[in-house]
Amino acid sequence: MISIAQITYLNEIGQRPKLEDSIYPAAGKATVSDKLFIVCDGVGGEKMGEEASRIACEEFAAFFDQNVPPSGALSDTYVRAAQSHVLQQMRNYAVQHPEAQKMSTTLTLAYLTENNVSIAWCGDSRIYHLRKGEVIWRSADHSLVENLVRHGEITEEEARILPLRNVITRALSATGSTSEIETHIIKDAREEDYIMLCTDGVLEQINDDRLREITLSHASNKRGLFMEYCSDVTKDNYSLYLLKLNNDSSTSPRMDW
């Protein structure tokens, strides 16, 4: 049975003038009994990204609360229904607040059941599955540079410094066409695996080597380890949920605030 042994979160402003990332459960509110975790990155500036990310977090959570998820894993049909609900709430908000007509947000979502972890994402916020310090799966960014890397036109190292690295190809938007949410099922989650949902601001300072260092560290305060790298140097907002898993109900859970 999959359960949570430890929760680490960040929801930080970085060097931006305002915080446009949102997380669910809200900062400091998550418990090891929670099953749904969401991290969103609102598109910035005058487009009211902070409202887009807030609505996405709140309304996905509301849909899950009002519509019992499948017992085995989230189906694409269920995810599409949740997305339709969220987009309708974003459109309703934009009707009442015309300045929010162009608002949009990325999405990362993880939902834990007894035997697997359902994953959904849209945009360039990222989800990782780590085991013994190694990345054994990660979501593919819906971004211009990811497409270039995938087609062999640039390397991953070049993608990190390309001026167009922040151009995304999918997002949840109040207006315009509906972007597809991609899904994945983690069926082989094991004791002491980690699931991480994060915005791209986290990735300014945190690469695979640093993820290995943090997840293999015996330090109980994983949040502090992330902050050592990110605090006062990360330019963007940076937010994440890092979930340490176990399959032993007798293991005492730990919170990492």
Give pLDDT tens digits for 39-80.
999 987 668 999 999 999 999 999 999 999 988 899 999 999
SS percent in the chain: helix, strand, coil, step 5: 30, 30, 40
| Residue labelled with tokens 């509906």 | 178
pLDDT band for position 127 (cuts 50, 70, 90): very high
**Is a pLDDT exceeding 70 seen at residue 24?**
yes
Q: Are 113 and 75 within 8 A, CB to CB?
A: no
Cα separation, 242 vs 168, whole angstroms: 23
* Residue 250: predicted pLDDT: 40
* Residue 164: predicted pLDDT: 62
* Residue 48: predicted pLDDT: 94
Least confident of 129-138, 159-168, 203-212, 248-257: 248-257
**Is a pLDDT exceeding 90 seen at residue 242?**
yes
Q: Are 196 and 243 within 8 A, CB to CB?
A: yes
**Is a pLDDT exceeding 60 seen at residue 110?**
yes
Average pLDDT score over residue span 179-190: 96
Q: Which of 189, 184, 196 is nearest to 76 (CA)?
A: 184
* Residue 72: predicted pLDDT: 86
Delineate the domains of the chain, giving CATH numbers in brackets. 3-256 (3.60.40.10)
Question: What pTM, to 2 d.p., does this model score?
Answer: 0.92
Mean pLDDT estimate for the chain: 91
pLDDT band for position 257 (cuts 50, 70, 90): very low
- Strand partners of residue 206: none
Which residues, including other chains, have CB under 8 Å from residue 56's CB and lie 6 or more apart? Answer: 22, 38, 40, 86, 90, 105, 107, 172
Give the percent of the chain with pLDDT over 70.
Answer: 88
* Residue 26: predicted pLDDT: 98
Give pLDDT tens digits for 142-184.
987 766 666 565 666 656 656 666 789 999 999 988 999 999 9
Region of residue 228 (left: phi > 0; alpha: psi -120 to 50; beta: else): alpha
Which is more confidently placed, 46 or 94?
Answer: 94
How many other β-carbons are positioned within 10 Å of the β-carbon of residue 178? Answer: 12
